[in-house]
Amino acid sequence: MIATRRPLAPRRADADADFGQTLYSAEECGELPGPAVLASLGCGNPTAVAELREGETVLDLGSGGGIDVILSARRVGTTGQAYGLDMTDEMLELARKNASDAGVTNVTFLKGLIEQVPLPDASVDVVISNCVINLSTEKSKVLAEIARVLKPSGRVGVSDVVAENQLSSAQRAERGSYVGCIAGALSKREYEVGLTDAGLVDVSVTYTDEVADGMHSAIIKATKRA
C-alpha cells in the first residue's frame, strides 16, 4: 500500500512537461517555497480543477511535499481547512516546513495510508490527489475511503495517470519503462466503474496529455449524493 509519491522512472523526453512543477502557473509557483515546487512529482494540477471555495475543507491524498495542500489552503481561506495525508515521516516533515515557510496556518498534515484515511465519515468537502491513486495496490479501498470521508454533495478533483480501455494490465506494465506511475494505472472504464461502485455520481474521466502510448494524464471528477 503506497500513499505517497515515489521517484519517477526514466521517461521519454517529450513527457517531461506532463509531470511536476511545469503543470503549475508562474503565479502559483510564486505562492510557494522553492522546496515545495521542486518536490512536486504529480501528473496534474488538481487545485486548478477542484473549484475550491472559501470555507471548504479539502483533503489531499498522498500530499508529498505539500504543494497542493498549500495552494488549497490559500483557495479556501482562513475559514477553510486543508489536510494532507502521507505515509512517510520524511515527506510530512518537508510538507510541514514548506507550509510554515509559505505562511499558511489552516493546514494539517496527517500520517497514514490512503486506503485507511484517518478522518471521520463525512468530514471533507473536496478530495484531491495528484498522481498517487495509481500507486495503490488496493484501489477499490482508496475509492471507498474517498466516498466515506466526503460530505453529502462533496466533490472529487483528482489528477492521475489513466490507461485507455483496450490496454491489458501487461501492456500497461510494459509502458512503465517510459514514465513513472504507469504500471498500476486504472483504465478509464475501471475508474468510472470503481467510483460508481463506491457510491459516487456524475463521474467523469477526461484525458489531458498522452504520457505514453495509450496512457494519459487525466482529470477525474465525481460527486457524492446530497
CA 134 to chain centre: 10
Exposure string over 98-131, b if 16+ CB within 10 A, otherwise e: bbeebebebbebeeebbbebebeeebbbbbbbbb
Which grid coordinates are listed for 68?
Answer: 497542493
- pLDDT more than 70, % of the chain: 79
Phi, psi (degrees; rounded to nearest 5) at 203: -80, 135
Q: What is the mean pLDDT of residues 105-120?
A: 98
- Residue 174 and residue 78: Cα distance in Å, rounded? 46
pLDDT, position 179: 56
Helices (H), the chain: 26-30, 34-38, 46-49, 67-76, 89-102, 139-149, 169-174, 188-197
The domain spans of the chain are 13-224
Please check whether residue 178 is in contact with residue 127, taking contact to mean a CB–CB distance below 8 angstroms: no
Whether CATH 3.40.50.150 fits 13-224: yes
Whether 222 shows a pLDDT value over 70: the answer reads yes
| Structure-derived torsion over alpha carbons of residues 28, 88, 53, 158, reported in degrees to the nearest 10 | 80
Longest dimension (CA), the chain: 47
CA 6 to chain centre: 13
What are 40-79's pLDDT values in tens digits?
A: 444 567 777 788 999 999 999 999 999 999 999 999 999 9
Q: What is the mean pLDDT of residues 94-99?
A: 95
- Residue 165 and residue 114: Cα distance in Å, rounded? 25
Task: Please identify which residue in the block is written with the cell numbers 517510459.
Answer: 178
- Residue 140 and residue 173: Cα distance in Å, rounded? 19
What are 26-43's pLDDT values in tens digits?
A: 454 455 455 444 444 445
End-to-end CA distance of the chain: 31
User: Position 166: which residue type?
Assistant: Q
- pLDDT more than 90, % of the chain: 68
What are 169-216's pLDDT values in tens digits?
A: 889 988 875 556 787 899 999 999 999 999 999 999 999 989 889 999
pTM for the complete prediction? 0.82
